[in-house]
Structure 1
Amino acid sequence: MTYRRRIVDDLLDELFPHLAAISLEGAKGVGKTATASQRATTVLDLAEPGLRLSIAANWGYVAEVPPPVLIDEWQLEPSVWDRVRQAVDEDSTGGRFLLAGSAGVAPGVRIHSGAGRIVSLPMRPLSFAERGVGDPSISLRALLNGERPSISGASEVKLPHYVDEILRSGFPGIRELPERARGMQLDGYLARIVERELPENGVTVRRPAALREWLAAYGAATATDASYSRILDAATPGESDKPSRQTVSGYREHLTRIFVLDPIPAWIPSFSPLNRLTHSPKHHLVDPALAARLVGVSKDALLRGEGGGLIARPDTNTWLGALFESLVAQSVRVYAQACEAQVGHLRTRDNTREIDLIVEASDRRLIAIEIKLSGSVSDKDVRHLNWLREKLGDRVIERVVLHAGPYAYRRPDGVAVIPLALLAP
């Protein structure tokens, strides 16, 4: 398969010549190994038991082979991390080690943090711009830099195409498969999480079916900040023998640690007149295709407004709207990382104000983003964006509505209305 260049490749090209060790971190299947392999002379795959035993018995081996060295699935032999850290202490020349892993080490296994020696670089599934769908032309970086780029153009990508992309997923090895094979692969991916990934990371799953139901309820809560007790109730309707909160909290912690859950944190600004903001994260799986598969919904059903019935929506949006928001959030987080920006969401505790995404640069300037299925944007749709601009002034460098319609334009009030397919890094 021909390698498709990723946005993170630009970051690696910029950073790796100057940094001795970089750890690519993300869920299984996002493409870490393929990306790291593009710049490795030696590849050590620790999923091979014989190699793993050999390296465990030879402390110095990883520093003796020709660099750059890719150490894949490093967490299966955690001592490798400490060996790389020590090697960097001995020689901090750039471009020596790439580590790839889909999980942290098992509970109870201690390693040094690697701070100052090993830089972590998150990697997510393919963003929309990386999928080769449409022709993105409006740069998030330009928006964040305050360049006020022209907001114009039209996209041929329509709502059914976005639904296709939600269901195909952003996992490079899954999305190109025929529909039935793709569904089986997604089912296998989810089964592996429950049956292998968590146990391999020291988590005892006594009731796999209950965990699967909890994951389905979490998927149904996509793009909400529903309480975890509400998600548990939705996963176990009418059951008196529910998993304990401690058990579910443990599952949630480990599913986040292996990057299956990818919640968006609440944006809590510093030095700001805003107060009484919620601290609850917004729920997202690493890919909305997993949420759709867990709940069990087809393209036609999504277009009819069905699905996601385990969690009642707090507003009039359909569950397709929630999955589209998750697709947008996945992409925006990839673009924001390339700009050294952070992504959060804003909601007031009384639920009177909500903004889907806040992209904040290191200098505290920010873009406020609302997400809509429809390309028709009214004054009501942008009222929270304009409220935030009134509160924070020029710190809000851009107000944006990302949507699934065809046209890009700037409203008279300055809000940029942009189809997701036209948004570039």
Structure 2
Amino acid sequence: MRYIERVADGELDRALRRAGAVLVEGPRACGKSVTAGRRAASTVRLDSDPSIAAQVAVDPALVLEGPSPRLLDEWQLYPTLWNAVRHAVDDAHERGRFILTGSTAPTGDAIRHSGAGRFARLRMRTMSLWESGHSDGRVSLEALLTGEPPRASESGLGFDDLLRCIANGGWPGFVGLDEHETVESIQDYADTVANVDVDSAGKVRDSARVRRLMVALARNVATEVTVSTLARDEASLSRDAVREYLDALSRIFVIEDQPAWSAHLRSSATLRQEPKRHFCDPSLALSLVGGDATALRGDLRYAGQLFESLAVHDLRVLSQPLGGAVFHARDSTGREVDAIVQLRDGSWAGFEVKLGASAEAVDTAAASLAAFADNVRGDRAPVLTVITGMGASYRRADGVNVVAIGSLGP
């Protein structure tokens, strides 16, 4: 199968040049092993090699022997390898020695010995529309964030194509399957998360309760649904139990909250602090509620929620190499911004997400962005953009950009 170029390729190359070991994390089946394997000179697959347990029991350093960079795939199955890698990097004083891939965030000893100064961390996600080939990439996010106006005629991604992209997701391993097979594969993925994967994040949990909580999250995707509401919807879990289950799902990268932004406002309004809830891929949320692309056509409100989640997902993928982090904001007067990309230098850009591209929808979104930006203290004016499901990409007379997601790229 042809390798699909990923935004993470360049990030991994840069990380190997600056650190002794690189930890590549992300949800299962997002492409970590394949991407890392293309950079590795040797590989040990810890989830399938039967000799590994004996080697680790005798001397974990035995597993590290091999040409560099050496890939330790699914390293978290043998947590003692973390310290073995840490010591090997210290002893050799060489960069680019190891790549560790994992579908579970490190805990325990790995947290106590964080590897600061030795490990670079790289978060991988499922494919953005640009990576999957559904966006032509004529509008560069990097250029947009520097103030360059977008300019692109209508993208080739039509409305029904967009709904199919949401339903099929950005899973590299499902490329080549037909729509029915893809939907079934995502359903299998959700079942595996509830029945098997979530237990890898710690103690054994009730799979039925895990699934009910995931369904409650799916219904409320891209919203600020509270722990209390999730506990009430799920019915059989306390708020503390919901928090613990959410933490377990986060540690296996199945969910990724969008934190609230902090800023100083000119008015007495206060910013809400609840995160927005997202799955690692919007297709997983749709699968959990039993839907597909056809069903989305009949529920445009939910399609809008999933489209916002898709836009946030793609902004995360495309802004990460730029040092960007993606937040959301809502103040106590109701003014909101669906996504805020903040860069390391403190500059920020605001994005409103609209499934439709009608003049009325864009006007409303642009006015909302401008009103919010006017209320934020700062030395630099932010870049403001409305992301639409289709249409052309351009800069309006008021300075607000309009960008179709089918034209957005790195």
TM-score scaled by structure 2?
0.94
Alignment match, 1:277: 271
What SS does the corresponding residue of 2:375 show, helix, strand or coil?
A: helix
- 1:327-366 matches, cutoff 5 A: 327-350=310-333, 352-366=334-348
CA distance in 2, matches of 1:177, 1:252: 31
- 1:130-209 matches, cutoff 5 A: 130-146=131-147, 148-206=148-206, 208-209=207-208
What SS does the corresponding residue of 2:221 show, helix, strand or coil?
A: coil
CA distance in 2, matches of 1:5, 1:161: 21
Offset at residue 110 of structure 1 (A): 6.3
Alignment match, 2:75: 74
What SS does the corresponding residue of 1:67 show, helix, strand or coil?
A: coil
Offset at residue 87 of structure 1 (A): 1.1
Residues 1:369 and 1:231: Cα distance change in structure 2 (over 3 Å): same
Alignment match, 2:370: 386
CA distance in 2, matches of 1:155, 1:135: 7
Matched, 1:267 2:284: no
Matched, 1:372 2:373: no
Q: Which amino acid aligns with 1:381?
A: A
Residues 1:110 and 1:143: Cα distance change in structure 2 (over 3 Å): closer
Offset at residue 200 of structure 1 (A): 2.9
Offset at residue 142 of structure 1 (A): 1.0
Residues 1:377 and 1:97: Cα distance change in structure 2 (over 3 Å): farther
- Matched residue pairs, number? 405
Alignment match, 2:297: 303
- 1:112-131 matches, cutoff 5 A: 112-131=113-132
Contact 2:341/2:348 (<8 A) preserved: yes
Matched, 1:325 2:326: no
Contact 2:386/2:403 (<8 A) preserved: yes
CA distance in 2, matches of 1:108, 1:380: 51
CA distance in 2, matches of 1:389, 1:272: 9
Q: Which runs of 5+ in 1 are unaligned?
A: 237-241, 307-317
Contact 2:150/2:401 (<8 A) preserved: no
Q: Deviations over 1:378-417 (max 9, x none)?
A: 4322222112332346633311000012211211101110
Offset at residue 354 of structure 1 (A): 0.7
Residues 1:26 and 1:420: Cα distance change in structure 2 (over 3 Å): same
Contact 1:37/1:43 (<8 A) preserved: yes
Residues 1:112 and 1:106: Cα distance change in structure 2 (over 3 Å): closer
- 1:249-268 matches, cutoff 5 A: 249-268=243-262
CA distance in 1, matches of 2:136, 2:110: 46
Q: Deviations over 1:24-61 (max 9, x none)?
A: 00000000000000010110111025233133122322
Alignment match, 2:233: 234
Matched, 1:418 2:403: yes
Contact 2:135/2:409 (<8 A) preserved: no
Q: Which amino acid aligns with 2:309?
A: S
What SS does the corresponding residue of 2:50 show, helix, strand or coil?
A: helix
Q: Identify which range, 389-398 or 371-380, moves more after superposition.
A: 389-398
Q: Identify which range, 391-400 or 402-411, moves more after superposition.
A: 391-400
Choose the corresponding residue for 2:282, options 265, 279, 288. 288
Alignment match, 2:30: 30
Contact 1:340/1:361 (<8 A) preserved: yes
Q: Percent identity?
A: 34
Q: Which amino acid aligns with 2:365?
A: D
Alignment match, 2:385: 400
CA distance in 1, matches of 2:66, 2:328: 45
Q: Deviations over 1:232-256 (max 9, x none)?
A: 32233xxxxx222222211111100
Offset at residue 364 of structure 1 (A): 0.9
TM-score scaled by structure 1?
0.91
Residues 1:336 and 1:88: Cα distance change in structure 2 (over 3 Å): same
CA distance in 1, matches of 2:390, 2:187: 31
What SS does the corresponding residue of 1:23 show, helix, strand or coil?
A: strand
Offset at residue 191 of structure 1 (A): 1.5
Alignment match, 2:16: 16
What SS does the corresponding residue of 2:402 show, helix, strand or coil?
A: strand
